[in-house]
């Protein structure tokens, strides 16, 4: 075999990579975002999250709803629709609590934890075997007890919402 023939054979595996990538992506079942959405699923409805927690955070429901909608828009090919989507997510904030997590020798709180709990129902109108009802998700963020919740609440909620959205996304379309 000539020297140029050996060079062509050396490049052959590299040339196959784009074809394999195209094949995997075009089948519609696997994507590089980790989703496993069937090709005939085209739309998603993400309903406004009700707020049912005793302690009130007036912006959390809206923040969570919008963040989850944005995640689906960015990471999937699904069209966001107001009602009757192929996939539908309904949820509620069921808990919003602050508790001490670290106590000093003087029995004072050194660190506090803000925890947010949500319950989600998921309906897949094309593949109902994927449905689930009232699945609980929880996320938290810690903060120094010497800092008031008001001073850090916005950033804590942003971090918590990001984690909740990741968990909900994975449970609904990543099959994790």
- What tens digit of pLDDT does each residue of 78-95 get? 999 999 999 999 999 999
Task: Measure the CA–CA gap between 57 and 153, rounded to whole angstroms.
Answer: 9
- What tens digit of pLDDT does each residue of 32-87 get? 445 678 999 999 999 999 999 999 999 999 999 999 999 999 999 999 999 999 99
């Amino acid at each position: 075999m000539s020297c140029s023939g050996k060079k062509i054979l050396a490049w052959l595996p590299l040339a196959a990579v784009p074809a394999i990538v195209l094949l995997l992506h075009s089948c519609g079942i696997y994507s590089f975002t980790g989703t496993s959405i069937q090709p005939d699923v085209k739309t998603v409805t993400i309903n406004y999250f009700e707020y049912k927690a005793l302690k009130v955070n007036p912006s959390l429901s809206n923040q969570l709803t919008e963040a989850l909608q944005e995640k689906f828009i960015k990471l999937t090919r699904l069209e966001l629709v107001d009602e009757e989507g192929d996939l539908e997510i309904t949820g509620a904030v069921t808990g919003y609590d602050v508790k001490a997590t670290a106590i000093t020798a003087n029995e004072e709180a050194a660190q506090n934890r803000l925890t947010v709990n949500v319950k989600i129902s998921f309906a897949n109108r094309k593949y109902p075997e994927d449905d689930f009802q009232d699945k609980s998700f929880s996320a938290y963020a810690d903060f120094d007890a010497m800092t008031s919740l008001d001073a850090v609440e916005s950033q804590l909620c942003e971090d918590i919402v990001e984690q909740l959205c990741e968990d909900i996304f994975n449970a609904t379309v990543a099959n994790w």
